[in-house]
Amino acid sequence: MKTISENRCFGGVQGVYSHPSQATGTEMTFGLFLPEGAEEGPVPVLWYLSGLTCTHENAMTKAGAQAWAAEAGIALVFPDTSPRGEGVANDDAYDLGQGAGFYVNATQNPWAPHFRMWDYVTDELPSLLFGAFPLAEGAQAITGHSMGGHGALTIAMSFPGRFRSVSAFAPICNPTGSDWGRKQFSAYLGPDEAAWAAHDSSLLMKKYGFDGPMLIDQGTADQFIDLLKPEALASAMAERRQGGTLRMQKGYDHSYYFVQTFMPDHIAFHSEALRG
């Protein structure tokens, strides 16, 4: 693992690191914020999964999360959204290829050799982090924005007991029923729609639910709301009688201004679950 940068930040350290990944067959980069308390021992950790076109850097610099995480004594992990580099398949569209891994393991060419973001985020990167940094493996939570909100919800429901809480900002809620999902799943996973269901949070909600607190914020002025389909997840939550909160925030769009506004609520929400 290489240290790209480490900067003092709200009493802690905001670092950026890279490492060779067996899952993706590429060099992967991630951001990690460690609060001051990490100098004394392991701290709880909140995973933040980013959206389409993003790298590890977008949320790290735009979400305004470090100040609140420092106050709560929580570490933040900012993974990249896809493999990158020479020889990695790509597409001219912003919503497919590099920057758009959708947190799945691709089975179709040309994506299959490198696009294994499910294994990377759920297995390889956690193993690396808990072996190298003072993080409490038994105190994890997960959140994300847009495509990353999709990833956070599907991962949380697929690993019962791993995460004490889950939240999302404007997540892609029903990708099997949206152009933000059907296009990518067809490319990455092939035409068999049965293989897509494991990566649809609305379908997973009906089947499994989540064994902890949930918080979802969605802006009513989100320019992509018809692609996100929050109503599908709300219906699934009601059908399952899942405990949780889905808030429609009047006038907010899909931008990081929206994420910044409600980040304090999400950090406090996870802090209560992680410390409780």
Catalytic residues: 146, 222, 254
Where on the phi/psi map is residue 190: left (φ > 0), alpha (ψ -120 to 50), or beta?
A: left
Residue 95 burial by Cβ neighbours in a 10 Å radius (0-12, 13-18, 19+): middle
Q: By three-state DSSP, how is residue 256 classified?
A: helix
DSSP 179-193: HHHHHHHHHHH-S-G
- Reading the block at residue 31, the tokens are 């951001």
CB atoms within 10 A of CB 221: 12
Structural Rg of the chain based on CA atoms: 17
Q: Which residues contact 247 (CB under 8 A, 6 or more apart)?
A: 215, 216, 217, 218
Using the Cα atoms of residue 276, residue 234, residue 159 and residue 73 in order, give the sign of their dihedral.
negative
Tokens 């979400």 belong to residue: 63
Distance CA 35, CA 67 (A): 9
